[in-house]
């Protein structure tokens, strides 16, 4: 289809292919792995903090209020993309890496000094959340631009750092807490963060060119720092279809991870350590699920695996209602981790098909993720509030409401992905599997 035909049919031109996928590109994947090890690893490990705060450290604070700490962190992690995406397109990636790493380590150090709810909220929720937000979306955009044929595989390997970090940080928290208490446990975790950030910064910034140099169209005026939104996205149906689908999937995605340890302790009456180990099992399964699913996506496209994983994740949340044994719960946690883990790398793998202008990829991705981030802010607290209906305290939560809420919203998001698939085929002229 030539340019005149595309103009008549409303189909936007295909973006130019990214740079050659050489060793340098795969070193970026390794650097992003270390980065996501910290950024999402500590987010996934919040289940251990949630359990500790609820049952030992902040016993007078409700489960819903405590979950706001983790959800605000997750919200800022993603919503900052509305600013960091355009800054990435303008070539400010290096500055964001430096400031983001500094803020998140500083927040962790301040957490070690906190003993009141508001102090924990400010350090772990706000400071770390902003630091993570300066790192996440720009790094996704960098990887998306660096790969064409193996984009899904690269994103799958890089984002597998998230559950790997969740496992290590959860184990560190569990093993160090009874030996050195909360303050030094958090400080040691902060030192590990710092070492990984140094390695990630070297790999991501070493000989990395200005990301906008190769994608700025000659006919497109250079963007300025005042242009944080691209109006083309606001009237683009595929953009809104992607964003709404991702919103509903994110609304239920993180909730099980927050409540796995608490469910094991309060409903199945396990020890605190066993509850955390079940969370670790779920995160370990997530690594395998991400790598396997993105390998499938490399051969058969990302849309079908994304729809499948979103649907099955929702069904698993509903199936959780019938789980009343320890063995059954361990199996549920493992299957949920393996299937839902793909919901992180697959959306950014699909997104280059949504955004027609590679020079605006960071901006569009930041806009989409910032809207979806509202779901990560609201999801677990809504679930926590629902769990407190009819409950007699933090040790007697109504988990059926959590399970129903997560399952219904995730299945709804997966159903919306069918509409996105149709729009991409019709408006972006996508054929076959993509």
> CA distances (Å), 291 to each of 11, 247, 337, 392, in order?
33, 23, 12, 42
Q: Which band of pLDDT confidence, cut at 50, 70 and 90, is reported for residue 4?
A: very low
User: Each residue of 175-200: pLDDT tens digit?
Assistant: 999 999 999 999 999 999 999 999 99
Q: Which domains does the chain carry?
A: 19-209+232-427 (1.20.1250.20)
Distance CA 172, CA 177 (A): 8
Q: Which band of pLDDT confidence, cut at 50, 70 and 90, is reported for residue 209?
A: low
Closest CA to 183 of 40, 77, 57: 57
Give the contacts of 22 (CB within 8 A, at least 6 positions apart). Answer: none
3-state secondary structure of 398: coil
Least confident interval from 13-22, 30-39, 126-135, 381-390: 13-22
pTM of the model: 0.77
3-state secondary structure of 371: helix
Pick 64 or 43 by higher pLDDT.
43
Cα dihedral sign, 298-301-303-305: negative
Give the contacts of 331 (CB within 8 A, at least 6 positions apart). Answer: none
Distance CA 430, CA 432 (A): 7
Q: Answer for the pair 27, 203: CB distance below 8 angstroms, yes or no.
A: yes
∠366-370-372 over CA atoms, to 5°? 120
Distance CA 235, CA 309 (A): 28
> CA distances (Å), 37 to each of 40, 44, 90, 166, 361, in order?
6, 10, 26, 7, 24
User: Each residue of 325-360: pLDDT tens digit?
Assistant: 999 999 999 999 999 988 988 898 888 889 888 888
pLDDT at 2 over 80: no
Looking at residue 133, its pLDDT comes to 94
Total residue count of the chain as it appears in this document: 434
- As a whole number, the mean pLDDT across the chain is 84
> Residue range 217-237: average pLDDT?
66
What's 58's DSSP letter? S
Pick 62 or 121 by higher pLDDT.
121
Q: Answer for the pair 166, 116: CB distance below 8 angstroms, yes or no.
A: no
22 class by beta-carbon count within 10 Å (0-12 exposed, 13-18 middle, 19+ buried): exposed
pLDDT at 219 over 60: no
Pick 41 or 229 by higher pLDDT.
41
pLDDT at 258 over 90: no
Closest CA to 160 of 277, 289, 328: 289
Looking at residue 9, its pLDDT comes to 39
User: What percentage of the chain reaches a pLDDT higher than 70?
Assistant: 88
pLDDT at 14 over 60: no
User: Each residue of 365-381: pLDDT tens digit?
Assistant: 888 988 888 887 788 88
> CA distances (Å), 28 to each of 140, 142, 182, 257, in order?
11, 8, 34, 28
Least confident interval from 13-22, 110-119, 239-248, 404-413: 13-22
Give the contacts of 209 (CB within 8 A, at least 6 positions apart). Answer: none
Distance CA 373, CA 160 (A): 20
Looking at residue 417, its pLDDT comes to 93
Looking at residue 214, its pLDDT comes to 47
Q: What is the DSSP string of 147-181?
A: -STTHHHHHHHHHTHHHHHHHHHHHHHHHHHHHHH
Looking at residue 248, its pLDDT comes to 95
User: Each residue of 292-311: pLDDT tens digit?
Assistant: 888 888 788 888 999 999 99
Interaxial angle between packed helices 346-354 and 272-300, expressed in degrees from 0 to 180 and rounded to the nearest 10: 40
Distance CA 189, CA 172 (A): 7
Looking at residue 415, its pLDDT comes to 94
Closest CA to 109 of 97, 127, 95: 127
> Residue range 168-179: average pLDDT?
91
């Amino acid at each position: 289809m030539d340019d005149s035909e595309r103009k008549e049919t409303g189909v936007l031109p295909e973006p130019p292919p990214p740079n050659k996928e050489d060793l340098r590109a795969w070193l970026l994947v390794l650097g992003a792995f270390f980065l996501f090890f910290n950024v999402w690893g500590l987010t996934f490990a919040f289940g251990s903090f949630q359990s500790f705060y609820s049952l030992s450290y902040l016993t007078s604070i409700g489960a819903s209020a405590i979950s706001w700490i983790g959800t605000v962190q997750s919200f800022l992690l993603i919503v900052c993309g509305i600013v960091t995406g355009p800054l990435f397109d303008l070539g400010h990636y290096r500055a964001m890496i430096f400031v983001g790493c500094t803020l998140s380590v500083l927040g962790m150090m301040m957490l070690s000094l906190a003993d009141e709810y508001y102090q924990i909220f400010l350090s772990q929720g706000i400071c770390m959340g902003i630091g993570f937000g300066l790192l996440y979306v720009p790094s996704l955009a960098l990887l998306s631009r660096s790969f064409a044929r193996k984009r899904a595989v690269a994103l799958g390997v890089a984002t597998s750092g998230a559950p790997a970090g969740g496992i290590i940080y959860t184990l560190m928290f569990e093993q160090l807490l009874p030996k050195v208490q909360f303050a030094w446990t958090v400080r040691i975790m902060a030192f590990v963060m710092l070492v990984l950030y140094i390695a990630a910064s070297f790999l991501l910034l070493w000989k990395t060119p200005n990301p906008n140099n190769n994608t700025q169209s000659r006919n497109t005026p250079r963007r300025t720092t005042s242009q944080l939104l691209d109006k083309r996205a606001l009237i683009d149906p595929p953009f809104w279809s992607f964003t709404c689908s991702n919103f509903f999937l994110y609304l239920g995605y993180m909730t099980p991870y927050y409540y796995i340890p608490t469910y094991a302790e309060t409903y199945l009456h396990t020890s605190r350590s066993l509850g955390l180990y079940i969370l670790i099992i779920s995160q370990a399964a997530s690594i395998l699920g991400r790598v396997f699913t993105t390998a499938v996506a490399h051969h058969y496209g990302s849309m079908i695996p994304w729809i499948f994983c979103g649907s099955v994740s929702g069904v698993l949340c509903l199936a959780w209602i019938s789980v009343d044994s320890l063995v059954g719960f361990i199996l549920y946690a493992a299957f949920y981790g393996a299937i839902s883990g793909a919901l992180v790398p697959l959306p950014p793998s699909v997104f280059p098909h949504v955004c027609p202008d590679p020079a605006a990829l960071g901006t569009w991705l930041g806009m989409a993720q910032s809207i979806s981030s509202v779901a990560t802010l609201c999801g677990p607290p809504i679930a926590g509030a629902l769990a407190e209906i009819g409950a007699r305290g933090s040790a007697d939560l109504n988990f059926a409401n959590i399970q129903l809420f997560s399952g219904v919203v995730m299945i709804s998001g997966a159903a919306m992905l069918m509409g996105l698939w149709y729009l991409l085929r019709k408006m972006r002229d996508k054929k076959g599997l993509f």
